[in-house]
Amino acid sequence: MNGLEPVGGDAQAPREPTRRLFFALWPSEALQSALTHATRKAVRACGGRPVPAHNLHVTLAFLGSVPERRIPELRLIADQVAATFPQEATPLRLTFDRIEHWKKAHIICAIAEAQSEGAAAPVDSLAGTLKK
């Protein structure tokens, strides 16, 4: 003992529980099915396994590992952003231009580089609110 060890055991406090979070748009079942069909060759070619169709989504903002205590705050942000869009809003139209393989994450993803008018609004609104 050199006198520097903490008294009573473990030197580290318990870790705060976290969740990997993201904000996303969830396509209709028909669109999820179409995405599954459109990407099946790429999935086979990379040797991966497909994501279940019901899990396919369009990520607006990836937050990463977030303390669980912040989830209510993030839900409030999501509600605030959603409230800025009319209930009868025109459906967003995205064109997925290419498929990318993200080696580190071990996923392939469809990328919508060019956006139709209005498609950037939810992303911009969310990004602006998250920066506050």
CATH number of the domain enclosing 66: 3.90.1140.10
pLDDT in tens, 56-102: 998 888 899 999 999 999 999 888 888 877 776 677 778 888 888 88
User: What pLDDT score was predicted for residue 111?
Assistant: 86
Assigned domain for 7 exists: no
**Which residues are within 8 A (CB) of 101 and not within 5 positions of it... i.e. 6 or more apart?**
46, 107, 108
Domain membership of residue 80 (yes or no) is yes
- For residue 110, being part of any structural domain is answered with no
Overall number of domains in the chain:
1
Residue 36 located in a structural domain: yes
Q: Considering the domain boundaries, does residue 75 fall inside one?
A: yes
C-beta separation of 125 from 82 below 8 A: no
- Is residue 13 a part of any domain in this protein? no
Percent of the chain with pLDDT over 90: 23
Cβ atoms 61, 23 nearer than 8 A: yes
What's the sign of the alpha-carbon dihedral 102, 103, 105, 107?
positive
Domain range holding 22? 18-87+122-131
Closest alpha carbon to 28 in 60, 59, 61, 54: 54
Q: Which of 59, 68, 74, 67 is nearest to 105 (CA)?
A: 59
- Is a pLDDT exceeding 90 seen at residue 29? yes
Which amino acid is located at 94 in the chain? L
Q: Does the residue 79 lie in any domain?
A: yes
- Name the pTM for this structure: 0.72
Domain membership of residue 104 (yes or no) is: no
